[in-house]
Amino acid sequence: MFSWIRVPPKVDYQCHRVHSMVGSNIFGEYESPTGYKNAQLRPDSKVLVFVETQYTRLGKHIVEVLEAVRFKYKIEIAGKSLPLLTSSDKGKYSAIVFENLFKYFHLNKWNRDLLDKYCREFNVGIIGFIVGNEQADNHKKVSDQLNHPKGRRRLDNLPIYVESDYQIKDYQLNAHSNIFRITRPGSISLGIVPENNWSIFTLPPNSSSFFPIAQALPRNYIVDTYPDGYKYSNIKKLNKLSNSTSIDWNNYKKNLLTTVFQDNGSYDGIKRIVFGNGLDYWLHKLIFLDSLSYLSNGKWSLPLQRYIQIDIDDIFVGEKGTRMKAVDVEMLIEFQQRLALLIPGFKFNLGYSGKFFHRGYPDENDGDDFLLKKSDHFRWFCHTFTHSQAHLTNNATIIENELLFNREFAKVNNLPTYNVYTVSPHHSGVYPIHEPLFDVWKRISEVRVTSTEEYPHLRPAHLRRGFIYKDVMVLPRQTCGLYTHTIFIDKYPGGRDKLEKSIFGGDLFYSFVVNQINVYMTHQSNYANDRLALYTFEAVIKFIQCWTNLQLFSLPPLELARKYFQIYPEEKDPIWMNPCEDRRHYNIWSLSKSCFQLPQFLILGPQKTGSTALYFFLSMHPSVISNQPSTDSFEEVQFFNGKNYNKGIDWYMNFFQLPNSSHFTLPIDDATTLNNSSTNSSLVQGHMKFFQRIPPPYKEAPPYFFEKSSTYFDGELVPMRVHSLLPHAKLIVILISPLKRAYSWYQHMKAHNLSIALNYTFYEVVSLDVQHKNPSERTMKKLRDLRQRCLGPGAYALHLERWLTFFSPQQMLFVDGDELRLNPINVMDKLQMFLKLEPYIDYSKMLRFDQKKGFYCQVTKGNSTKCLGKSKGRIYPEMDTLSRNYLHHYYLHHNVVLSKLLNRLRVRIPTWLELELSNNL
């Protein structure tokens, strides 16, 4: 009987080199400007991006590209005052980008001169975009309109004219431009460019300053046959243009429109690159990256080496009828051999699940056998025996057996296994971390490397990163558009065009451009059926070779991971996100975990401001539960600063234990009950969606967990880390006079017998006026450390600004530490309101001033008082005048900035701050 044989698609991509056609260098040679040798940029200099508003599309696009390549940037709204461009005589910005170039031309004279002077002195260039008529029209000068009523207008005082609203085709790059690094010029992207609204530029003829970087034809210009034989009729969708008109080459060149040009700086000393459209067009992203490199004198340049790893997951797992046959295995081997010629050392990594061996149709089972026979061609990594997800069990033995059975399968079948690498089915247990999985990896299978798409989140893809946890290097995985169900090209979700768009300049191609290390996951079904993986990777590699100078390499996973963290060392430490904020994360998080076990508010400190008293008073409220005391750090958890952070969120969550007794009043047998309850508590409401996660014995309302770690306030990374894990947390900050705080800390250290505090007076410590005591280098260091701990946290405004970049002011409550000491009942009322605590507690019945202690204490059942320990509310002499004067001047600037900040936030200025500011010592 006749059986229909399906033929997998062939890659017919042709790279149309046009360089030979364009002929000799018609653009002249680039001359680099001289005279910039003395000015220096800061090592941490950034790209300065002027956007129209925070929300404009192109502005966001620019930022996305910068983030994807991990370039540091600063965003400014154009039209407002310029940011400080230098610090200590060094330039802060190594390239400047204007989302709308007209905003640059129309800077007021003062700012324009300042910016131009900066660019000249520091040899920093400007990239600008002119997109469509609208943008240009808004900025058209009246004189321009009169001179050029048809919309052709001059670009500021440059001898260049711009026209907008063009539609173009046949995009090509000027092979003689010296800006190209990643981009490989010389090819022509035949066909219509889909983006509309192109601005095109007329440059002065034979200029030694201005050259085209990119050009194209007007959309309606008809070319049939190019000199070296390309026919438009070969190009899909353009057939209708194929009458027999042959090209007139001179005419062709004359008709090219300049869409991106370069100003090499010899005109007015400033280098510029101007785009006649945004970054939607795929080639513009490449040109943009090369422009940044060129204009920053190489500071922002990506290396050209790209490393690639392709995993084939689900070996043996696929459904009957979708699995590889022997011929597919042969094609796979043949493809690997071809790829290895282009990518030295390339080998596929095969992730196997032994349980499903021989579960296909007979010819597929033959395929399994053939694959085993040819197993030496590949690197085999252990998936799990039954393809199970680790997070579904807390039983490490079950997870262990999954791996052991699978490895046994590999042993019996002589597979050349590579045990340092593994991949988890459905990313389960990798991120969010499932501790038993990492423990098992460590214990039995010496796993050192894995990969996931989920860190920190699946989307946006350009922000995927790696991290190291328990010595396992987790690499970010990129998406190549192929999944278990994408097995036929004509059934590709969204159509064949969608896959091809991703390959030819779209997401897949772009992931190679921006990521130096690329790990892709495919599935065995992508190598059977239409063998879409072969098609996809062959096509994208051809495209990369045509349009870029990227060099492709391959390394075994362990070496690749080491390379990754060599390139991106700053990614080693993980950042813990809240699994309940990302549905995908939530679905692969252990069922025994609940977001209840995370605090809903934090007392941030700073140290010595009364944070323990506040913590103590809050713990008296029946609806809140403080953290379990830590034995390591004076009861504080201190998770977000220091080493504890690397212990992971399970470690942190263990500090928040649900009570045994019935402590809460709201019935929550099901979510509806609570939904209908009259409570206004946003904290309760915010957590309703996670009820299912409450471990069965707990049928009470969620508690309000909180913790206080007074070291959080001034920790550099703490605001970012807190925001990642607890984005909705409320934050409580206590402020007392920073002078008093510093002194209290010194006394605290003295009470702890710190030798440096015992041997040096407070004044000596803070002023470092100690020459008469002739301290050794070591002692000086200790003095400086103590001084820093005394003074550093008191720069309140500096630290608060950091918190405010992550949290809204509405999430923060400022407690006046003096009020807390003298009138805590008032403070606790405000706190209950701010936290929306229920039930309302009358603290006047619970707190009383204790004459002996000299502070407010808790009223106990027997009507006596329970006060904080000896270390809180110490008795020590008053601060001496010399120190007071010194600190007054030291903090004056900080206090001025703080008062401005509090005013901005509409927070009442505390009396101690008013006094400091009015005190002219």
Per-position b or e across 125-139, b if 16+ CB within 10 A of its CB: bbbbbbbbbebbeeb
**Which residues have CB under 8 Å from 906's CB, separation 6+?**
none
Query: Per CB under 6 A, which region of 428-436, 684-692, 871-879, 907-915 contacts ligand PPS?
Result: 871-879
- Contact between 710 and ligand PPS per CB under 6 A: yes
Least distance from ligand PPS to the Cβ atom of residue 913, Å? 17
Q: Which of 670, 717, 673 is nearest to 691 (CA)?
A: 670
876 is in an annotated binding site: yes
**What is the SS3 assignment for 10-22?**
CCCCCCCECHHHH
Q: How many residues bind ligand PPS (CB under 6 A)?
A: 18
Comparison of 663 and 874: residue with beta carbon closer to ligand PPS: 874
870 is in an annotated binding site: no
Choose, by CB under 6 A, the member of 90, 728, 848, 872 that binds ligand PPS.
872
693 is in an annotated binding site: no
| Single-letter amino acid, residue 75 | I
118 is in an annotated binding site: no
Least distance from ligand PPS to the Cβ atom of residue 790, Å? 12
What are the residues facing 231 on neighbouring strands?
Answer: 225
Least distance from ligand PPS to the Cβ atom of residue 678, Å? 34
DSSP helix/strand/coil, 665: coil
Comparison of 110 and 876: residue with beta carbon closer to ligand PPS: 876
The pattern of x and - marking residues 738 through 757 that bind ligand PPS according to CB under 6 A reads ------x--x----------
Question: Rounded to whole angstroms, how far apart are CA atoms 909 and 901?
Answer: 10
The pattern of x and - marking residues 604 through 643 that bind ligand PPS according to CB under 6 A reads ---xxxxxxx------------------------------
Question: Rounded to whole angstroms, how far apart are CA atoms 259 and 275?
Answer: 6
Least distance from ligand PPS to the Cβ atom of residue 898, Å? 18
Comparison of 592 and 860: residue with beta carbon closer to ligand PPS: 860
**What token pair was written down for 235?**
């190009």
What are the residues facing 15 on neighbouring strands?
Answer: none
Taking each helix axis from N to C end, the angle separating 496-503 and 507-514, rounded to the nearest 10 degrees, works out to 20
**What token pair was written down for 598?**
């995370």
| Single-letter amino acid, residue 379 | R
Comparison of 381 and 743: residue with beta carbon closer to ligand PPS: 743
Least distance from ligand PPS to the Cβ atom of residue 107, Å? 49
DSSP helix/strand/coil, 786: helix
Least distance from ligand PPS to the Cβ atom of residue 751, Å? 9
**Which residues have CB under 8 Å from 199's CB, separation 6+?**
130, 131, 132, 136, 162, 163, 164, 166, 259, 276, 277
Query: Per CB under 6 A, which region of 603-611, 685-693, 798-806, 902-910 contacts ligand PPS?
Result: 603-611
Choose, by CB under 6 A, the member of 241, 444, 868, 892 that binds ligand PPS.
868
DSSP helix/strand/coil, 761: coil
Least distance from ligand PPS to the Cβ atom of residue 741, Å? 9
DSSP for residue 269: S
- Dihedral sign, CA of 439, 440, 445, 450? negative
Least distance from ligand PPS to the Cβ atom of residue 853, Å? 7
Residues of span 836-855 touching ligand PPS by CB under 6 A: 855
**What is the SS3 assignment for 618-644?**
HHCCCCEEECCCECCCCECCCCCCCHH
- Contact between 856 and ligand PPS per CB under 6 A: yes
Query: Per CB under 6 A, which region of 185-193, 687-695, 762-770, 868-876 contacts ligand PPS?
Result: 868-876
Least distance from ligand PPS to the Cβ atom of residue 826, Å? 13
Comparison of 787 and 821: residue with beta carbon closer to ligand PPS: 821
**Which residues have CB under 8 Å from 616's CB, separation 6+?**
858, 868
- Contact between 515 and ligand PPS per CB under 6 A: no
**What token pair was written down for 896?**
């001025």
**What is the SS3 assignment for 452-475?**
ECCCCCCCCHHHCCCEEECCEEEE
Choose, by CB under 6 A, the member of 358, 443, 498, 874 that binds ligand PPS.
874
**What token pair was written down for 439?**
């423990």
Comparison of 370 and 615: residue with beta carbon closer to ligand PPS: 615
- Contact between 870 and ligand PPS per CB under 6 A: no
Question: Rounded to whole angstroms, how far apart are CA atoms 678 and 350?
Answer: 56
873 is in an annotated binding site: yes
What are the residues facing 450 on neighbouring strands?
Answer: 474
Under a CB-based contact definition with an 8 Å cutoff, are residues 771 and 760 in contact? no
Comparison of 375 and 744: residue with beta carbon closer to ligand PPS: 744
DSSP for residue 281: S
Place of tokens 């990798």: 430
Query: Per CB under 6 A, which region of 133-141, 430-438, 601-609, 797-805 contacts ligand PPS?
Result: 601-609
**What token pair was written down for 792?**
């550093």
Neighbours of 80 (CB within 10 A): 9
Comparison of 43 and 877: residue with beta carbon closer to ligand PPS: 877
Query: Per CB under 6 A, which region of 23-31, 717-725, 792-800, 870-878 contacts ligand PPS?
Result: 870-878
Phi, psi dihedrals of residue 531, rounded to the nearest 5°: 45, 50
Least distance from ligand PPS to the Cβ atom of residue 884, Å? 16
**Which residues have CB under 8 Å from 123's CB, separation 6+?**
33, 36, 39, 271, 297
- Contact between 794 and ligand PPS per CB under 6 A: no
Least distance from ligand PPS to the Cβ atom of residue 784, Å? 21
DSSP for residue 673: H
Comparison of 123 and 612: residue with beta carbon closer to ligand PPS: 612
Q: Which of 684, 702, 907, 708 is nearest to 813 (CA)?
A: 907
Neighbours of 465 (CB within 10 A): 17
Q: Which of 361, 161, 447 is nearest to 276 (CA)?
A: 161
900 is in an annotated binding site: no
6 is in an annotated binding site: no
Comparison of 648 and 793: residue with beta carbon closer to ligand PPS: 793
- Contact between 307 and ligand PPS per CB under 6 A: no
Query: Per CB under 6 A, which region of 33-41, 188-196, 380-388, 872-880 contacts ligand PPS?
Result: 872-880
Q: Which of 28, 389, 22, 6 is nearest to 177 (CA)?
A: 28
Under a CB-based contact definition with an 8 Å cutoff, are residues 649 and 432 in contact? yes
Place of tokens 């407002």: 80
Least distance from ligand PPS to the Cβ atom of residue 636, Å? 7
Active centre residues (catalytic): 608
Under a CB-based contact definition with an 8 Å cutoff, are residues 176 and 214 in contact? no
Comparison of 284 and 608: residue with beta carbon closer to ligand PPS: 608
Question: Rounded to whole angstroms, how far apart are CA atoms 105 and 640?
Answer: 46
- Contact between 873 and ligand PPS per CB under 6 A: yes
What are the residues facing 5 on neighbouring strands?
Answer: none
Question: Rounded to whole angstroms, how far apart are CA atoms 409 and 487?
Answer: 27
Comparison of 227 and 854: residue with beta carbon closer to ligand PPS: 854
Q: Please state the residue numbers annotated as binding site for 3'-phosphoadenylyl sulfate.
A: 744, 856, 872-876
Binding site for ligand PPS (CB under 6 A): 607-613, 710, 744, 747, 820-821, 855-856, 868, 872-874
Q: Please state the residue numbers annotated as binding site.
A: 744, 856, 872-876
